[in-house]
Amino acid sequence: MLALAALGVTDIGENRDQEAAAKALATADAGVSVRWHYVGQLQRNKCRSVVTYADMVHSVDSVPLARALVAAADRYREQRLDVLVQISLDGNADRGGAIEGAADPEREVRAVVDALVGSPPLRLRGVMAVAPLKWEPARAFERLAEVAAWIRADHPDATVISAGMSGDLEEAVAAGATHVRLGSAILGNRLPPAVA
């Protein structure tokens, strides 16, 4: 992270809280200022930790998670926390993401948006999605752009579209992505955990 920051990369994403918290502390101790993006699926019990270092959380996908972030941000932050609604483009709740017309009202996209907008410690900045495994990335990101447009119609500051990774970044950018996740293209594939 320090090497990337020295090269001018000041927006850093991480999808595991334990690793992100340690890296955020190390960069701060080194006097290096970066903007931390929490991009992983977030569990409510990790909100307290995440709000202490993250500048933006990309993966808010339910009303209970929004409430947990509000409570943690209200208690442990001085400035507002930027958040994105994670959208499930294929309706598969197992992979994370709020769902249009969800059977569970706490996972419905509009309910999640409303929970974020009505919460002063948080600031709705847009949407995030990962292309479903069996979808063409271009189709997935075009659908995400449609969802982003109807959210932005009511919330003009929600201009962020976080989509695409190393393997499908061209399709994401073509569909309007403002943020892409390029970890493996820059750092290589993550090594498997060591076995003790």
pLDDT digits (tens, 9 = 90+) for 81-115: 999 999 999 988 788 899 988 888 999 999 999 99
Global confidence as pTM: 0.89
Rounded to the nearest 5°, which phi and psi values hold at 116? Answer: -75, -45
Quote the percentage of the chain above a pLDDT of 70.
Answer: 92
CA distance 17 to 43: 10
Closest CA to 117 of 157, 172, 147, 90: 157
Secondary structure (3-state) at 144 = helix
User: What is the average pLDDT across 5-17?
Assistant: 87
CA distance 14 to 68: 20
CA 60 – CA 126 distance, rounded (Å): 11
Q: CA 150 → CA 10, 33, 103, 107, 144, distances in Å?
A: 30, 34, 21, 17, 10
In angstroms, the CA 178 to CA 146 distance is: 14
The Cα–Cα gap between 42 and 97 comes to 11
Burial 152-171 (b: 16+ CB within 10 A, else e): beeeeebebbbbbbeebbeb
Q: Is the pLDDT of residue 150 over 80?
A: yes
In sequence order, the β-bridge partners of residue 98 are 87
In this model, does residue 11 exceed pLDDT 70? yes
DSSP conformational letter for 25: H
Mean pLDDT of 156-185: 86
What's the confidence (pLDDT) of residue 192? Answer: 64
Are 111 and 101 spatial neighbours (Cβ–Cβ below 8 Å)? Answer: no
pLDDT band at 187 (very low <50, low <70, confident <90, very high): low
Q: Is residue 196's pLDDT more than 60? A: no
24-75 confidence digits (pLDDT tens): 999 999 999 999 999 999 999 999 999 999 999 999 999 999 999 999 999 9
Q: Which CATH architecture has domain 2-184?
A: Alpha-Beta Barrel (3.20)
Question: Could you state, in order of their start, the residue ranges of all structural domains in the chain?
Answer: 2-184
Residue 72 is predicted with a pLDDT of 97
What does the pLDDT read at residue 188? Answer: 60
- For 43, the token pair is 């569990």
As given in the structure block, the two tokens for residue 30 are 């080194």
Window from 45-49, 120-124, 177-181 with minimum mean pLDDT: 177-181
Whether the per-residue pLDDT at 79 is higher than 90: the answer is yes
Between 26 and 192, name the one with better pLDDT.
26
